[in-house]
Amino acid sequence: MHVDELGCATASLARRPRKSLQYSRRVSQEDVELVRGLLVPFEQGDITPIFRDDTIWAAARAALTGALTPDFDCDFVRDDVGRATFAGIDGLRTAWMDWLSPWETYDAVIEDAIEANEGRVLVLTRDHARPKGATGAEVDFAGAAVWTVRDGKVARVEFYFNRAEGFAAAGVSQ
């Protein structure tokens, strides 16, 4: 049993090997390190307890609050429903609770972090999810998130479930 910095206990289950973040030459070290630090709890495997468990969320919320601007917002951009914007840290939880509702487990592997431009960091993920009630069935897709950093804090995160859209939004060539 491992307990991470948010107090999340995880059993030693067989997991897919994780890739470490790879940096391109254009990386703004400060911005990428900020984003990378915020992603550490999400690299531990199934992320559903972070958002579904009130106690774990309270610890995550406390840890995240100082790293976000007062006007922080996030967008979830999906092919099926388009773009939905959520305001503040509580909006971040609402967005993830909505997205996670059909999934029993959800694991987002960080593949790379690339500075896009103007304080933006493009984070590439490989997401694995198991639908509720399914045994053995798993969905796998390549996603991307564009993190906007302003004055050393995260002002916005745009989650793209279509990686090509994430690249385009960040202004980065694939």
pLDDT tens string 132-152: 988 778 999 999 999 999 999
Q: List, in sequence order, every beta strand (DSSP E) within the chain.
A: 2-3, 9-10, 68-78, 82-87, 103-115, 120-131, 139-150, 153-160
CB 108 within 8 A of CB 127: yes
Which CATH number describes the domain made up of 24-170?
A: 3.10.450.50
Q: Residue 154 burial by CB count (10 A; 0-12/13-18/19+): exposed, middle or buried?
A: buried
pLDDT tens string 56-66: 999 999 999 99
- Both tokens of 115, joined, read 């500075």
Q: What pLDDT does 9 receive?
A: 34
Which is more confidently placed, 77 or 18?
A: 77
Instruction: Evaluate if residue 20 carries a pLDDT over 60.
Output: no
- Can you give the residue ranges of every domain in the chain? 24-170
Mean pLDDT over each residue of the chain, to the nearest integer: 84
